[in-house]
Each structure stands twice: as C-alpha cells, then as structure tokens.
Structure 1
C-alpha cells in the first residue's frame, strides 16, 4: 500500500497531465495561444459535480456528458477566437476566463462563490473505490489520453494543424481551411481538459470558481512550455515535474516560490524550447543515448546469433 501523501501527489500528476495535454492540442499542435484552459477544465468539473450531486448520475454516466459539454465550450470560445490571432487571442482568452469565473460566482445555480461540495466518490459495483484504486483509474485515463493525442498528432488532422500553425496562408492554398481546423483544436483540446476536470472534481470532491480561474490556466501553460510545447512527452513531463517540484522544496517553505520561479526563469533563458521539446539540448542527448544503446543491443544480438 502506498502512503496517502504519495497517492495524492501521483493522482494530481495524472490529472494535471491530462489537462496539459488538452492545452497542448490547442497551443502546441494547432498553434493557438490560449490562456483559458481553466474554462474547459472547469466546465468538465462543474458538469460532473452538478450531475452527480443533484441529478443522481454516477461518475461513469457523468463522464461523457462532461466531456461533451467541455467540447461544446471549446466550440463556443473558439468561434470568436477565429477573428483574432496571436497576442490578441491570448487577451481574448483571458477575458473569457474572467467571464467564466464571474458566471460561476454570481449565478447561484452553480453554487456561487462557495462552489459545489460533497461530490461523490467514484464507485464500482455500488462500492466507493479507495484512493489507490482511484489513482489507478486516473492513470488509465492518462494513458488513454496519451494514446489519443499521439494518434491525433500523426493523423491527417495533426498534419493539418501543423500546416495551420506554420503558415495559415499556405495551408489555405493547398486546400486546408484554417478556421475549421482551429475549431477542431478548440473542441478536442477542450474535451481533453474537461476530461481532466472530471477527475479533479471527484478527487478533491469540492469545486469552486477559483479553482479554474486565470492563475490555474497560466499554471497549465507553464507546464506545457516547460516540458516542450507541441510534444506529448513534454506536456506530461512538465505537468508531473511542476506538480512535484513545490513538494520537493517543502523543507524550505519560505523560499519555495522563489526557487520555483528561478527554476523556470533559468530554463526559459537557456532552453526556450522546453526541457523535452523537439531540438532541445536534453532531448537531443537523450535520443543520442537511446540510439547508442539500441546499436549496442543490436550488435550484441547479432554476435549471439553468430
């Protein structure tokens, strides 16, 4: 049995990794600089919280509804975003975050500033699962999300997103409609982030508007950029590392934020592509080490066969 503290950290790593992969689809694959990922995570979290506490839905019934609502929110926020680009898109997404947070605070239907409490535990066969089992379910969800995003990156849609990210005009000339694929990115990325929000709600068992505001959205963006924007490995590594890093420096509580911030500043100055981004120093050396090991292993097998 794992310690409860370790289970909590590992579960949060998996949850934030799922949300980071959602942002990576929007900002990494499609190149749409979005600072509003908290909207989609919050939509998923609030949808499952409302369905399971007020409508009698189980976790398993609420998941597809929450993911669908998050995809719809991606469509709603993506349509206005088609009219702006780059810096203006970032400002627009920040505005969406504050509108979303205000709606959750001032509309009593969403629980107001106190949010929604008593979100039920996940049950299997009518029995609530343990925290360790829930951690395993969350990691299974993360593996599913990784598989989906890897497939998307290598599919025709991934190629279209890359074309739009690099040059919208050239993409349009060869028959790729940027507006359509931007909306696809917002919807799919929103659905993935909402999927992570579902697991967050049932793990914390209490959601408030402040959990999905501007600062959490920036936090997720930092994860993706830190690990390597546009790469699945980078999004997962960034989310896991930056979830764990504050805990590692808990022994210097007063200076934890200073160390955390300086780590990010140094990395961005000397490795702007992210720690595991394509072409980064660390990734080049890891690939080189892997190729050398593979060559040694291959030669060893050849000699053994002879």
Structure 2
C-alpha cells in the first residue's frame, strides 16, 4: 500500500508540474525553472555535504563548467541544446573525479579552503580565454527553439522540472540503498566504515564526482533558461549561496534541496529592493542561524514537529478505541 501511495504521489506531482506549463505566465515559469535547476545543484551538493560529510565551498566552479560547456557547444559547434546537457554532466563529473582524488586526504576546513580557492580561481581563468569564453563580456547563447506551440519559457521550464524530478527520484533511491548507507557510515565514523569493509576513499571520490556532475548539469540548464553566461555570474557568492540553500533546507534530507531552491530563487526578488548586497548578507545570516539554532533545517524541523503532533494524537486515539470497544463489567 505504501508503494502504491508513493507512486500515486509521484504521478500527481508530475501531472501538476505539466499542467503549470499551460496555466502559469512565462515570467513565473522562468522562476519555477530556476527553482528546478537550483534544486538539482543542491541535490548534488547535499550528497557531498549532507550524506558524505565533505564540506565544499567551490561548487560554483562546477556550475560554471556546466554552463560554459553548453554555451560553447551551442555557439561554436551549433549542437542542439538538449544534447549538450549530458556532455556538461559528464565533463563536470570527470573534473570532479580528478579533483576528488586529492580531496580524499582532506577533511573539514582544509577541504573547504581548497574548494573555495577553486571557486575564486575559475572565473579569473575564464576571463583570460576570450576566444573561447568571451572573456569579461561572456557569451550570448541563443535559447532553444520550442517544439510545437510551446513558448521558449514553457519549453525550458518543462526540461528543467522534468530533469529535476528525475534527479530527485534517483537521489532518493541512491540514499536509501546500500551505497547511501555506506555514505552515511563514512560521514559518521570513517574508522568504523573502513573496519566494516566500506571502501572509504572510493566512496568519497565517487560522491564528489557525482555531486560535481549534478551541479554542472544545473549550470547547463541555467544557460538554457537565461541565454547568457559571464565569469561574474560564477563568483564566490554562488558557492556560498548553494551552501546556504542546503543548510536552510536540511542537510542529509531528501526534501531539503527543494526547500533551499525555493529560498534561493525567491529571496533575491525581495532583498535586492533593499540593497544589491542584501541577498549575500541574508544568506550568510541564514547559515549562521540555522547551524546554531536549527541544524536540521526546515525539513528537519517540520519532521520533528510532525512526530510530536502524531505522538500527542496517538494516545488520545488509543484511549478512545479502548473506551469504545471495552466490555461492560460482569455483575454478580
């Protein structure tokens, strides 16, 4: 029954997302597409930080690799937009695997500093290859031609949310499998994981690479949605924002990236009215507040409140059931 309910729920969610294509205006669809692609990036980062315990402050670099891969392939070779997406994913995965090998020896703050250096260095490198990356000016990318009677925003929305839905299902199945158990064991007690036969180094490298690949896929989707890439779009603030998203949503929780993606997409719409630097300040405060007061994030808090509510309701239901079905005392 639980499997049937889960299947019906997934089908209903997918149906609602498809219906939104024809009932929501193009501007709101572009925002929802941004939520979808940001969720993909956060799901990748959550695998690394939330489930494997490796802190990265440089995933904005993988986002940039995916974005520029799509931009260069579309503008230089004329490749169809959708065909560039798996290439961006594979290339980001490969770069993540290469960087993940030396990162195996790093822990905590050391790994965070190394990945932060990557996030700072890559935008500067992109500016020095003007013939390929457009340098400081970036690259204008023609947006994909939609099929049928769909608008471009409708088409990019569909691509983004369907891929986000597929990635969500894949990540959920992964973290509930033996591989997911190995990841959590490595995070909680590396020595115990090694003693139980878990290949710690291999798990760390594969998760780092998979996380990079998903983030690169999100960057490629962002190019389809916005039609423009520039080195300044992939500064250190992007990496910090991604960390803020998974912290707010809930580290090591499947639904956390969805909540975090909504936060990262819609918060700037309100905070930029105050100041251009307000989103960065708010995200920094979110990280501090949630790490100190609500380390389980929004989804963790909701789960805890739900358990307390069920615990209060259950005894009352038991009492009512017993009083309703109890037999009358026998009189002698």
Q: TM-score range by the shorter chain?
A: 0.7 to 0.9
> Is 1:11 aligned with 2:33?
yes
> Is 1:285 aligned with 2:308?
no
Structure 1 unaligned runs (5+)?
300-306
Runs of 4+ in 1 over 6 A off after TM superposition: 290-296
Q: State the Cα distance separating 1:144 from its structure 2 match.
A: 0.7
> Is 1:158 aligned with 2:180?
yes
With over 3 angstroms needed to count, the CA separation of the structure-2 counterparts of 1:3 and 1:101, relative to structure 1, is same
Mapped to 1, the partners of 2:314 and 2:159 lie a distance apart of 33
| Paired position in structure 2 for 1:68 | 90
Mapped to 2, the partners of 1:169 and 1:269 lie a distance apart of 27
SS at match of 1:103: helix
Mapped to 1, the partners of 2:287 and 2:186 lie a distance apart of 29
| Paired position in structure 2 for 1:146 | 168
The answer on whether the counterparts of 2:146 and 2:155 sit within 8 Å (CA) in structure 1 is no
SS at match of 2:47: helix
| Paired position in structure 2 for 1:271 | 294
SS at match of 2:252: coil
Q: State the Cα distance separating 1:175 from its structure 2 match.
A: 1.1
Q: State the Cα distance separating 1:266 from its structure 2 match.
A: 4.3
| Paired position in structure 2 for 1:212 | 234
SS at match of 2:295: coil
The match for 1:45 among 67, 92, 103 is 67
Q: State the Cα distance separating 1:286 from its structure 2 match.
A: 2.9
| Paired position in structure 1 for 2:117 | 95
| Paired position in structure 2 for 1:78 | 100
| Paired position in structure 2 for 1:303 | none
Mapped to 2, the partners of 1:172 and 1:58 lie a distance apart of 45
Mapped to 2, the partners of 1:250 and 1:63 lie a distance apart of 31
SS at match of 1:285: helix
SS at match of 2:251: coil
> Is 1:177 aligned with 2:199?
yes
Q: TM-score, normalised by structure 2?
A: 0.80
Structure-to-structure mapping, 1:218-257, within 5 angstroms: 218-248=240-270, 257=279
Structure 2 unaligned runs (5+)?
1-22, 321-332
The answer on whether the counterparts of 1:52 and 1:59 sit within 8 Å (CA) in structure 2 is yes
With over 3 angstroms needed to count, the CA separation of the structure-2 counterparts of 1:287 and 1:12, relative to structure 1, is farther
| Paired position in structure 1 for 2:138 | 115
| Paired position in structure 1 for 2:47 | 25
How many aligned positions are there? 296
Q: State the Cα distance separating 1:130 from its structure 2 match.
A: 2.4
| Paired position in structure 1 for 2:210 | 188
With over 3 angstroms needed to count, the CA separation of the structure-2 counterparts of 1:180 and 1:293, relative to structure 1, is same
Mapped to 2, the partners of 1:238 and 1:195 lie a distance apart of 18
